[in-house]
Structures are given as structure tokens and as C-alpha cells.
Amino acid sequence: MKRNDLQTIMRRAWHLFRSMGKAFAVCLSKAWQLYRLTKRMRAGVVRFAYEKADGTLRKAAGTLHEVSATIKGTGRPDGGQAVRYYDVEADGWRSFKVENLIAIYQ
């Protein structure tokens, strides 16, 4: 684990604490869950679920492995407020707010 990873985890935990209003321990646990999700997505395809902006549940299969050629945009960081991933089923880039993660499947 790099120092930058720990900074990202803590930044997400504090963002969750301010936005969700839950105990910091709960927010820190969710931030670690998000870290493990992105780490697994860098190695391959991961199935997970999150709540969409309209309130519906979205089950996705995403990856960050070998998709750097498809990246477009400014490359501007988001401050740890969203998780971006490549959806292998929809064949495109998607993102979700960190507080909306529900579950990570095998």
C-alpha cells in the first residue's frame, strides 16, 4: 500500500462522514471497502451493486484492467467523491457516488 492510497481512503472517509452523517467508523469501513473494490478492478472484472441517482439498484460488472486506451476527458481528479469504472456489459465508462455502494460480489 502506498501513502497516496491511505490519503485517498481517509479523504473518502471524511467525505462520507460529512455527506452521510454516520459515525466515522462506519464511513472509514466503507472507504476501505471502496479501496478494495478499486484494487480488485485493477486486476480484473468485479461484480458489485450500487444505488443509482434515481434510486434504483444497479448491478454492474466493472474493471480498470487494461482499459487505459479508452480513457477520454480532462483527467481532472474528483476529490474521491466518485468511483469511475469501465462497465464490461455496457461497453462504456460509468461512475457512481462513493456513498451509494451497496455490495461487492465475488
Length of the chain as a residue count: 106
What is the per-residue pLDDT for 106? 72
What is the per-residue pLDDT for 1? 76
**Residue 81 CB-density burial (10 A; 0-12 exposed, 13-18 middle, 19+ buried):** middle
The DSSP secondary-structure symbol of 98 reads: G
Q: Per residue of the chain (106 residues), what is the pLDDT tens digit? A: 788 889 989 999 999 999 988 999 999 999 999 999 999 999 999 999 999 999 999 999 999 998 876 777 666 666 668 899 999 999 999 999 999 999 999 7
First CA to last CA across the chain, in angstroms?
A: 22
Provide the 3-class DSSP secondary structure of residue 20.
helix
Query: Nearest to residue 100, comparing CAs of 87, 83, 88?
Result: 83
What is the per-residue pLDDT for 86? 93
